[in-house]
C-alpha cells in the first residue's frame, strides 16, 4: 500500500518545527528516521495531514559528556552511532540489539523514546537510569523524567506539538544488559537493564507490561548489603513478582515471569563483573 496524501515541511529550527506541529491542529507527525512511522503510513494505520521532517535542524545530532557524569544525546543521533560510541558501554550494548543494520542506520534515539514501544530497548535503558528527556513545545523548553514520560504502550505525556530534542543519562559505574528474543533483531520478549549510579543499583524490565517496570523491592534488596548469591537470587525473584505478564502467541505468562527472573539474574551477574569504561 501507499501512504495517504500529506503535506511535507522541512523546518530549519526546532521552534519552526514546533510551530508547524501546532498549526496542524494536532494532525501533524514528526519524522526523523521513520522506522516506526513509515510502515504505519504505508499501511494507512495513521493518516497525518502534515509530516514535519526535523533531519535538517542543526544541533540535534551530537553526543556530549557533561561534567564527566552525564551523557547528553541529541534526538537525531542514530542507533548506529549509539553502538559505536564508547562513553557508555551499556547504551552501546542495548543499541546493538535494535533491529538490524538498516534500522540502526536510520532510527534515532529521539524517535525510539517518543514512540515508547514497551518492548524497545532504549526506553528500558532510560527508565533504569532515570533519564531526563529534553522537550521543546509551544510554551518553551522543559525536561521530563523518564518516569513521567512513559504512560502506556506507544503512549507518552508529550503534547501534540512537543518535540524531543535530547536525552540525558547518568553514566553508570557498573551495568548489565540481558534480553530474550526469538531472533537477534526481534523485539525482546523480556529485556532487563541493571545499572549502578551513585552507589545504588537500579533495575528496569521491558517487554512485559505497558511501560518499562522499575522493581523497587528488588532494588531495595540490592541496597541492603553486599550482593552475594542469596541476595542476587532474592532480587531476581522480586523482579519477577513485580512485573505483570500476560499470555500471547509468543509465550505464556508463567514463561515470561520465569524469564524475567532468569534474565534479571543474568543482568545482575554481568553488572557485578563490569566497571566504568573510559571515554572514547
Provide the β-strand partners of residue 181. Answer: none
The answer to whether 174 and 271 have CB atoms below 8 angstroms apart is: yes
CATH of domain 7-52: 3.30.43.10
Mapped to the 3 state alphabet, what secondary structure does 41-90 carry? HHCCCCCCCEEEECCCCCCCCCEEEECCCEEEEECCCEHHHHHHCCCCHH
Burial class of residue 272 in the structure, from the number of CB atoms within 10 Å of its CB (0-12 exposed, 13-18 middle, 19+ buried): middle
* Positive or negative torsion for Cα 42, 46, 50, 53: negative
DSSP 190-234: EEEEEEEETTEEEEEEESSSSS-B--HHHHHHHHTS---HHHHHH
CATH of domain 63-170: 3.30.465.10
Provide the pLDDT for residue 280.
36
Q: Which fold has domain 174-272?
A: Enolase-like; domain 1 (3.30.390)
Q: Could you report the per-residue pLDDT of 195-250, keeping only the tens digit for each?
A: 999 999 999 999 998 999 999 999 999 998 888 899 999 999 999 999 988 888 88
User: Is 80 exceeded by the pLDDT of residue 274?
Assistant: no
Give the Å distances, CA to CA, from 236 to 218, 233, 239, 257, 263. Answer: 7, 5, 5, 10, 8
Give the Å distances, CA to CA, from 258 to 84, 244, 261. Answer: 33, 12, 5
* Positive or negative torsion for Cα 66, 71, 128, 233: negative
pLDDT band at residue 276 under the 50/70/90 scheme: very low
Provide the pLDDT for residue 106.
95
> Of 28, 25, 27, 26, nearest to 10 (Cα)?
28
For the chain, give every domain's residue range: 7-52, 63-170, 174-272
| 90-104, 178-192, 226-240, range with the lowest pLDDT | 178-192
Provide the pLDDT for residue 278.
38
Amino acid at each position: 500500500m501507499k501512504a495517504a496524501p500529506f503535506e511535507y515541511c522541512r523546518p530549519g529550527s526546532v521552534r519552526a518545527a514546533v510551530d508547524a506541529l501546532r498549526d496542524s491542529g494536532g494532525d501533524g507527525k514528526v519524522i526523523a528516521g521513520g522506522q516506526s512511522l513509515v510502515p504505519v503510513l504505508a499501511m494507512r494505520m495513521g493518516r497525518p495531514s502534515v509530516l514535519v521532517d526535523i533531519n535538517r535542524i542543526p544541533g540535534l545530532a551530537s553526543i556530549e559528556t557533561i561534567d564527566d557524569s552525564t551523557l547528553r544525546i541529541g534526538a537525531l543521533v542514530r542507533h548506529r552511532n549509539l553502538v559505536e560510541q564508547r562513553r557508555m558501554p551499556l547504551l552501546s550494548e542495548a543499541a546493538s540489539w535494535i533491529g538490524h543494520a538498516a534500522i540502526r542506520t536510520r532510527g534515532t534515539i529521539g524517535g525510539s523514546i517518543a514512540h515508547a514501544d514497551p518492548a524497545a530497548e532504549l526506553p528500558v535503558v532510560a527508565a533504569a537510569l532515570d533519564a531526563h528527556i529534553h522537550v521543546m513545545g509551544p510554551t518553551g523548553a522543559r525536561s521530563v523524567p523518564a518516569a513521567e514520560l512513559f504512560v502506556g504502550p506507544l503512549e507518552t505525556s508529550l503534547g501534540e506539538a512537543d518535540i524531543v530534542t535530547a536525552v540525558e543519562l547518568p553514566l553508570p559505574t557498573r551495568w548489565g544488559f540481558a534480553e530474550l528474543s526469538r531472533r537477534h533483531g526481534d523485539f525482546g520478549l523480556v529485556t532487563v537493564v541493571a545499572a549502578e549510579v551513585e552507589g545504588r543499583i537500579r533495575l528496569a524490565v521491558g517487554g512485559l507490561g505497558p511501560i518499562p517496570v522499575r522493581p523497587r523491592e528488588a532494588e531495595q534488596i540490592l541496597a541492603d548489603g553486599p550482593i552475594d548469591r542469596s541476595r542476587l537470587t532474592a532480587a531476581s525473584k522480586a523482579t519477577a513478582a513485580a512485573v505483570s505478564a500476560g499470555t500471547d502467541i509468543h509465550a505464556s505468562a508463567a514463561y515470561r515471569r520465569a524469564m524475567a527472573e532468569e534474565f534479571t539474574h543474568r543482568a545482575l551477574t554481568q553488572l557485578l563483573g563490569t566497571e566504568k569504561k573510559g571515554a572514547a
